[in-house]
Amino acid sequence: MRLAESAGASQHALVRGGRSRPDPKYFAGSGKVAEIAQAARELNAACVIFNHPLTGAQQRNLEKELGRRVLDRTELILEIFGQRARTNEGKLQVELAQLEHLSTRLVRGWSHLERQRGGLGKTGGPGEKQLELDRRTIGQRVSRLRGKLDQLRHRREVQRRARARGPVLSVSLVGYTNAGKSTLFNALARARAYEADQLFATLDTTTRRIFVPGAGEVVLSDTVGFIRELPHSLVAAFRATLEETVRADLLLHVVDSASPSRARQAADVNAVLAEIGAERVPQLQVWNKTDLSGLAPGLERDEYGRISRVLVSARTGAGLGELRDALSEAAREHLSARRTPSSQAISI
């Protein structure tokens, strides 16, 4: 399981199961939970990871039954994001998502005080009081984080408006996590953005101006990778970062051509783009890692002569010339559209 490995966990056992609907108490059935408990005891596992989102009650019941920490898919992704965040904005966004997730599960830490409630008219017991204090503390911190992120968002909006005043094409790299976006960004921009063979290697948006022959300057942005069932709390927390995607003139949708799941991954990316309101931004598919898939690098067009996709290897540089040609063509169409107000957005 790549997510667990990316978080630094070692997988010792994998338990699969299927149900028509989740069990309201444990998510998995009682028999499957007993099987998980036995495997965890035999392996002396430190924690049990569910590749599904769990409710607070399900997580609490599972920890009580299994006798060890339980992580669901959302908490696992939050753990990875916490490890990967490098810039101040990235850390703020991760902390916001973590606090908003924690606020829905506060009862887990104070369940031992539940029976002390009541006895003084309308005043609750110690458990209720502590919960309210925790909720208030988290709420205040969330408000401060949102204020700081709004300031950073305003600053980015000013920078974006300054760029929009000139005839410069704004391009954002999007794609499934570990598709090679940062490697492609470094190859095109001659930059040194962090790249690694791991999920969510990049959390922070990096922007560079690049020169494309025949088109002039193009603003290129590298963004956070997407994944199947990306938690809504993360999408909301990273909305300021993802606005680079929504406001772009063109999206380079980077696809891992060597992945057997590339079609599903591309569909998952398009689903997230629709969630953040970027589904109408013109998109060009860039099939990366041709050195691993064996596909021939180059530029492909459809029956109408429009570019359908570009096949490249960001690692070896094969096909990057054709990708620059595609960007040059897109930039010229963008400039033509700006000169003609009634023109529609570019299609590539």
* DSSP string covering 90-134: HHHHHHHHHHHHHTTSGGGGGGGGGGG--SBTTB--HHHHHHHHH
Mean pLDDT of the chain: 79
Bridge partners for 311 per DSSP: 287, 298
* pLDDT at residue 14, rounded to an integer: 84
Write down the H helix ranges in the chain.
Answer: 2-6, 30-43, 56-66, 73-84, 88-102, 126-164, 181-189, 232-237, 239-246, 262-275, 290-293, 320-339
> Given a cut of 90, is residue 124 above it in pLDDT?
no
pLDDT for the residue 316: 95
Is the model more confident about 84 or about 324?
324
pLDDT of residue 234 exceeding 70, the answer is no
pLDDT given at position 317: 95
Domain positions in the chain: 2-11+22-71, 103-146, 167-339
Per-residue pLDDT of 1-38, as tens digits, reads 667 776 777 777 888 888 888 899 999 998 999 999 99
Q: Please give the backbone phi and psi of residue 118, each rounded to the nearest 5 degrees, phi first.
A: 85, 180
Question: Is the pLDDT higher at 270 or at 168?
Answer: 270
Gap between the terminal Cα atoms of the chain: 36
- How does DSSP assign 201-220, residue by residue? ---S-EEEEEEETTTEEEEE
Strand, helix or coil at 278? coil
pLDDT in tens, 249-263: 899 999 999 999 999
pLDDT band at 84 (very low <50, low <70, confident <90, very high): confident
User: Tell me: the pLDDT tens digits for 142-169?
Assistant: 888 888 878 877 777 776 666 555 567 8
Give dist(CA 81, CA 91) in Å, integer: 9
The label of the residue with tokens 């954002």 reads: 172
**Beta 283-288 vs 250-256: how paired, if at all?**
parallel
Bridge-partner residues for 301, per DSSP?
Answer: 307
In sequence order, which residues have a C-beta less than 8 Å from that of residue 306 and are 6 or more positions away? 347, 348
> Residue 254 and residue 202: Cα distance in Å, rounded?
14
Does residue 264 carry a pLDDT above 90? yes
In CATH terms, the fold of domain 167-339 is Rossmann fold (3.40.50)
Q: Please determine, for residue 212, whether its predicted confidence score (pLDDT) is greater than 70.
A: yes
